[in-house]
Copies of this chain bind each other. A is one copy, B any other.
Amino acid sequence: MNDKQNKEITSRDKDFAKWYTDIVRVAHLASYSNTKGCTVFEPNGYAIWEKMQSILDQKFKETGHVNVYMPLLIPENLLRKEGELVEGFAPEVAWVTEGGTKKLEERLCIRPTSETLFSDYYASTISSYRDLPKLYNQWCNVLRWEKETRPFLRSREFLWQEGHTIHESKAEAEAETLRMLNIYNDFFHEYLAIPSIVGKKTEKEKFAGAEYTYTVEALMYNGVALQSGTSHYFGQKFSKAYDIKYLNRENKYDYPYQTSWGVTTRMIGALIMVHSDDYGLVLPPKIAPKKVVIIPIGEDLEVLSLAHDYLEKLNASGIESYIDNSDKSPGFKFAEAEVNGIPVRIEIGKRDLEKGIITLARRDTREKSEVFINTDIVKDVSILLEDIQRDMYDRALRRREEMTYTVTDLEQFKDIINTHPGFVKAMWCGDSKCEEKIKEIRGCKSRCIPFEEEKVDDKCIVCGKPAKELVIWGIQY
């Protein structure tokens, strides 16, 4: 194909924001609803979330976690027990004040997150070290009263999982915080083909109520950063605020240590902004709900029979495939499969069949190759899917590296952020006043203090005082 792009999609390099919403629309991932700030997750979008859920849920269970479900509504007095959390979330919650035709005596908040409910539950069910640890997770909807919303990236209601664990010792809780961060990071690398970076949030950027927050940060095609998953260590903050006391091994009362960690439907936004192009959605095979589309060209019986033969073989081997035998034209079907991000397309035409060949097209590079009809289709497709998965990661990594800058001079910092943003590595003294100064540059924030320590200068890029650590900075969604 020589066409430069799908006509319904704005060019990514021309107007990234418009390109993004075009992809969401034409790939039928989500649509705006008449509930302000809330989106409808359409079948194609929700199927990606289901795939994410099934992979992560298995990883959580393999590491000993079990699922539970806490109420949607939190009584105001319960929410107010932990001061920092309330302060962080109070400006962005929705309140239920009427129920069953009556005004309520106490307002109920729709959960923006569930630390309060889990802590309240732990307080009533944990009494001995024998009850510890509890490794709980919950898949649910949450609500935050955002002003500006964009599908998947920021919306009033979103879907997520929130893990909430409670432990006897500090060491165990800290290990859990790190373990779950690593599960997220592996998931980004292995499944989403996104070369994320892990590190610790600064005091200013950590979760309200946490002692510290670990984060998974990813860089989008346009150089904007996306916080893509977080894991919080709470120490005894919540156990003290909610009076979760237990008898320890020395038969003395003690407060346990807690963590929480979560990823959201925002990951779908990350997938789009890292991988997709002007032809539509591009999905890494391991997260694509449908991996292969088979398109028979014409109504020839031999063609259809081969299509069904391939379909059966691919599905039987666990490669989710389907045939598009609608009455649309082949060109239309090709374009639709591209827009929807189906990783591999198999084209079977009568004339090619006479030559004994069929065509495999990969979505990521749009390259086509011909193979003999009597090929081992499962093997060919499997290899191709692996290639796509690896190549997508490699390309994303190269782009991230190209868009990662190391600077020791504030003017240079400003220049980069103002002209071609990305991850900017620069030294920091640890003072939040210097963080504030950086924020004046297009709202640029500290993304994280990366686990991979690095020293590029002796002094803080803002104040020139001795530097404490290297920080990765960036503009964020």
Interface residues of chain A, those whose CB is within 8 Å of chain B, are 31, 33-36, 38-43, 46-47, 49-50, 66-75, 78, 90-101, 107-108, 110, 117, 120-121, 124-125, 136, 140-141, 143, 145, 147, 156-157, 159
Contacts and interface: CB of A to CB of B under 8 A. Distances in A.
A44 B50 CA distance: 23
A380 B182 CA distance: 41
Name the residue in A49, A71, A145, A147 with the highest tally of chain B Cβ atoms < 10 Å from its Cβ. Answer: A71
Given A34-B78, A35-B78, 16 more contacts: A31-B124, A33-B117, A34-B75, A35-B74, A35-B117, A38-B73, A40-B121, A41-B70, A43-B67, A43-B136, A46-B67, A47-B67, A71-B157, A94-B99, A100-B145, A100-B147
B73 A35 contact: yes
A328 to B, nearest CB: 10
Contacts of A140: 141
Contact of A68 (B42, B69, B120, B136): B42
Contacts of A141: 72, 140-141
Nearest to A144: B100
B70 A33 contact: yes
A98 B47 CA distance: 33
30 contacts: A31-B124, A33-B70, A33-B71, A34-B120, A35-B71, A35-B75, A35-B108, A38-B71, A38-B73, A39-B71, A40-B71, A41-B70, A42-B68, A43-B67, A46-B66, A47-B66, A47-B67, A71-B157, A72-B110, A72-B143, A72-B157, A91-B100, A91-B101, A94-B98, A95-B96, A96-B96, A96-B110, A97-B98, A110-B110, A141-B141
A19 to B, nearest CB: 22
A interface secondary structure, majority: mixed
Contact of A92 (B47, B93, B100): B100
A46 B147 CA distance: 34
Given A38-B71, A38-B72, A71-B33, A97 B100 contact: no
A96 B99 contact: no
Given A31-B124, A120-B34, A99 B108 contact: no
B69 A33 contact: no
Contacts of A39: 71
B95 A67 contact: no
Contacts of A147: 100
A66 B49 CA distance: 13
Nearest to A74: B35
A145 B99 contact: yes
A26 to B, nearest CB: 13
Nearest to A116: B34
A288 to B, nearest CB: 15
